[in-house]
């Protein structure tokens, strides 16, 4: 009998990483586990990724952070929603909120994030632009465990990429690398679980 392996994805926007993860893992049997993307949850009601997930038959839910006065209250409700899915893994894919202890302390499972720089270089929301404008000849992508400090948890996987001549090509290369690296990271967790 294959064991189920439940994943919840958190997004805020375009959702191209979420879509890629759904296409690779949803309803697939990998390392003797039946992987199910149980839910895609967004804090942003207009996130395009919600529709992409729905088109692939994945359930979605919106929990708008603007409906909460205190960050901790949002985080606490989000944790309850995630826990309802009996998850084995939570993946942040363009989720533009820092999660506090009110979320993290309730989940005793791996929580991963993908970040478009070679961490610890260029934490924060402008990593692609900041990487492009630094003096290095490379950019990169990192997949790390989520901690309560922004983009600072233990790194699971990271890879450098040679910088393209213009920022549009660089950004495209970064996203292509993200899709490959996030899949590799999830496979690593699946293999070890």
Q: Which residues are catalytic?
A: 115
The count of residues interacting with ligand GRF (CB under 6 A) is 14
Name the one residue in this structure whose structure tokens are 């260029």.
122
DSSP designation for 67: G
Q: In whole angstroms, give the CA distance from residue 158 to residue 119.
A: 8
Alpha helices for the chain (secondary structure H): 16-25, 48-55, 71-83, 101-104, 127-133, 167-192
Which one, 78 or 91, has the nearer CB to ligand GRF? 91
The number of angstroms, rounded, from the C-alpha of 155 to the middle of its chain's C-alpha atoms is: 13
Length of the chain: 193
Residue among 37, 85, 89, 178 that touches ligand GRF (CB under 6 A): 178
CB atoms within 10 A of CB 13: 18
Q: Does 17 sit near ligand GRF (CB under 6 A)?
A: yes
Q: Which of positions 115-154 make contact with ligand GRF (CB under 6 A)?
A: 115-116
Count of CA atoms in the C-beta half-sphere (13 A) of 167: 9
Options 22-30, 31-39, 114-122, 129-137: segment touching ligand GRF (CB under 6 A): 114-122
Select the span of 56-64, 113-121, 153-161, 184-192 touching ligand GRF (CB under 6 A).
113-121
CB of 155 to ligand GRF, least distance (A): 14
CB nearer ligand GRF, residue 6 or residue 131 = 131
Q: Which of 5, 8, 10, 15: binder of ligand GRF (CB under 6 A)?
A: 15
Report the C-alpha gap between 178 and 191 in whole angstroms: 20
Stretch that binds ligand GRF, among 79-87, 100-108, 112-120, 131-139 (CB under 6 A): 112-120
Residue 10 tokens read as 């958190």
To ligand GRF, the closest distance from the beta carbon of 69 in angstroms equals 26
Please give the residue ranges that form the binding site for ligand GRF (CB under 6 A): 11, 13-18, 49, 93-94, 114-116, 178
């Amino acid at each position: 009998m294959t064991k189920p392996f439940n994943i919840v994805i958190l997004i805020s926007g375009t959702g191209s990483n979420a879509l890629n993860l759904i296409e690779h893992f949803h309803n697939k049997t990998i390392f003797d586990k039946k992987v199910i993307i149980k839910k895609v949850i967004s804090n942003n009601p207009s996130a395009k990724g919600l529709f992409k997930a729905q088109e692939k038959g994945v359930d979605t839910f919106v929990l708008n952070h603007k409906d909460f006065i205190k960050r901790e209250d949002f985080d606490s409700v989000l944790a309850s929603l995630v826990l309802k899915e009996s998850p084995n893994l939570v993946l942040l894919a363009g989720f533009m909120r820092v999660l506090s202890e009110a979320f993290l302390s309730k989940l005793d499972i791996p929580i991963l994030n993908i970040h478009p720089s070679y961490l610890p270089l260029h934490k924060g929301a402008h990593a692609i632009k900041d990487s492009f404008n630094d003096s290095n000849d490379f950019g990169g992508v990192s997949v790390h465990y989520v901690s309560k400090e922004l983009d600072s948890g233990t790194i699971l996987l990271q890879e450098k990429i040679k910088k393209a001549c213009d920022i549009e090509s660089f950004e495209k290369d970064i996203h292509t690398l993200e899709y490959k690296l996030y899949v590799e990271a999830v496979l690593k967790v699946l293999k070890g679980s």
